[in-house]
Structure 1
Amino acid sequence: MKKKKLKTLNDIHNLHQSLISLLKQDSGCSSGNYKVSLELRDNNDLLLNISSLLEVCVFALDGNGTLLSPNNQNVTKHDSVCRVLELVLTILPHSQMDFMDYVTEKLTNLDNTTTKSPKDHQL
C-alpha cells in the first residue's frame, strides 16, 4: 500500500513540475500570490493587446459598436473582439484543470483503496 501511495505522489509531483509554467508563485509577495505571464512579440504587441481589451469594453458600454476616440476610427469591433478572445484562450488554464482532475481521481482511488475492508477486495 505504501508503494502505491508513493508512486501516486511521485506521479503527481512529476505532472505538477511539467504544468507549473503558466502559474508561477510570486516570490516577492508574502501572501503566496501567483503570477500569470503572457508571451508577446514586442512593446507594440503589448500595447495592441491592452488597447483591444479597452476597446472591447468601450464597444460593450457604448452599445452601437463605434469608438468615441478619433484615434481609433480604423479599429473594427471584429478585430478587437478576436484579439481579446485569443488572449483569453491563451490564459485559460487547461493544463492546470487536467492536473486537478488527475489529482482528484488519484486521491479518490487512494481513499477508496484505504477505506475498503479486506473483504471488499475479494469482490
Structure 2
Amino acid sequence: MKSNKKKLKSLMDIHKLHQNLMGLLKQQADSPRRCYQICLEVSSNNELLLNIASLLEVCVFALDGNGMLLSPNNQNIVKHDSVCRVLELALNILPHSQMDFMDYVTEKLNGLDNANTKSSK
C-alpha cells in the first residue's frame, strides 16, 4: 500500500513537471507522425536573416578551406563573427529544460525500481 502511494506521488510529480516543461521541443498536435518542432525566438526578421546567413557562411568557410568568402558582395564578412553567431545559436537551442526533466524522471524511476527490488525480496 505504501509502495503504491509512493509510485502514485512520483508519477504525479513527473506529470506536474511535464505539464510545466518550458523547453524548446514541442510536439506538433496535427502531425500524423509524432513529430516535434523547435521554437527559436528572434527579435526581428533581420535577426532571423542574420542567423540563417551565419549558418550558411560558416558552411562556406568550412568548405572553402581558406577561411574567406569568394563573392565580391561578401568580402566584408568576418569568419569570427559568423562562427560566434552560429555558436550562440547552438547554445540557445540546447534543451536544458528537457534534460533537467529527463534527469528527474530517471531519478524517480530508479527510486521506484529500487523500492520494487527491496519489497520483492
TM over 0.5: yes
Shift of 1:69: 1.9
- RCO higher in structure (CA 8 A, sep ≥6): 2
Q: Using a 3 Å threshold, how does the CA distance of structure 1 residues 117 and 2 change in structure 2: closer, same or farther?
A: closer
Counterparts of 1:16 and 1:108, CA distance in 2: 18
Is 1:57 the counterpart of 2:92? The answer is no
Matches within 5 A, 1:1-123: 1-117=3-119
Shift of 1:117: 3.7
SS in 2 for 1:24: strand
TM-score, normalization by structure 1: 0.90
Q: How many equivalent pairs are there? A: 119
TM-score, normalization by structure 2: 0.91
Structure 1 moving runs of 4+ over 6 Å: none
Q: Deviations over 1:34-58 (max 9, x none)?
A: 0001000111111100000000000
Shift of 1:14: 1.6
Runs of 5+ unmatched residues, structure 1: none
Counterparts of 2:112 and 2:61, CA distance in 1: 50
Instruction: Tell me the C-alpha RMSD between the 2 structures.
Output: 1.4
Runs of 5+ unmatched residues, structure 2: none
Which shows bigger deviation, 81-90 or 94-103? 94-103
Shift of 1:102: 1.1
